[in-house]
Chain A
């Protein structure tokens, strides 16, 4: 099963809509709640990152019996120093993002903690691509 979502940068009112729909789908598929939580927390943080930092992005979630693969591909400023961005507490978020309860430099570490595998590719001035994998077995 493959699910696709389009995300608009700056659309805070709808941030989390894709993650919410994935959560409902995983529940219908009877995925264990502990796994669902790991998937949606990682996905939600990544979705908020697109809304917070990028101009727009696409989310593709592939579900098979062994794993859930989430690819988040955005057009945006990119990340100049990925290892720095992975450090807890480091953030370039705007005041608007902080007012929404994010932007404390916990997003990427939270994603990493919930993922079995996290791969980040980024080009400054072009965008960022995340591949998040959570194993089902």
Chain B
């Protein structure tokens, strides 16, 4: 599934990294707990999170996760976007809850890691 399709399905606004919209992924992980994200052995996944602060970007950087979908329309700060751009990430945000966004994407064929 392409990131463009994911953005469309979750009615998400692209915050940075739009050039990556045509890239495609198979797997997704949803969590607000960054230590849980750091246990993933795979990269090239979409992270869905409601944790909107600089550590969510740092955690994605350390985990080689290039795509983040922030849920519940929370404010993403300029320093978060700057750090994401430095690490060639795509950030987007949706007004949907984590449950709703995850459910829609699962139904559309995106797979869970575990």
Which residues from chain A sit less than 8 Å from chain B, CB to CB?
12-13, 15-16, 19-20, 23, 33, 37, 40-41, 44-45, 48, 99-102, 104, 106-107, 110, 113
Alpha-carbon separation in the docked complex, A40 to B38 (Å)? 10
Which residues from chain B sit less than 8 Å from chain A, CB to CB?
32-39, 43, 51, 53-56, 58-59, 61-64, 79
Alpha-carbon separation in the docked complex, A93 to B80 (Å)? 24
Query: Between A and B, how many residue pairs show CB distances below 8 Å?
Result: 66
Q: Which residue of A lies closest to B61 (CB)?
A: A20
Alpha-carbon separation in the docked complex, A40 to B33 (Å)? 17
Q: Are B64 and A33 in contact (CB under 8 A)?
A: yes
B33 in complex: contacting residue of A13, A23, A104, CB < 8 Å: A104
Q: Are A106 and B36 in contact (CB under 8 A)?
A: yes
Instruction: Tell me, rounded to whole Å, the shortest Cβ–Cβ distance linking B76 to chain A.
Output: 15
B38 in complex: contacting residue of A13, A20, A33, A110, CB < 8 Å: A110
Residues of B within 8 A of A41 (CB): 38, 62-63
- With A102-B55, A104-B33, A106-B36 already in contact, 5 other A-B pairs whose C-beta atoms are closer than 8 Å: A37-B43, A45-B35, A100-B51, A101-B51, A110-B39
Instruction: Tell me, rounded to whole Å, the shortest Cβ–Cβ distance linking A111 to chain B.
Output: 10
Task: Please report whether the interface of chain A is mostly helix, strand, loop or mixed according to DSSP.
Answer: helix
B62 in complex: contacting residue of A12, A19, A113, CB < 8 Å: A19
Residues of A within 8 A of B58 (CB): 15-16, 19-20, 44
B61 in complex: contacting residue of A23, A33, A100, CB < 8 Å: A23
A102 in complex: contacting residue of B35, B39, B43, B62, CB < 8 Å: B35
Q: Are B34 and A102 in contact (CB under 8 A)?
A: yes
B34 in complex: contacting residue of A19, A40, A100, CB < 8 Å: A100
Q: Are B35 and A106 in contact (CB under 8 A)?
A: yes
Residues of A within 8 A of B64 (CB): 33, 37
Alpha-carbon separation in the docked complex, A102 to B53 (Å)? 12
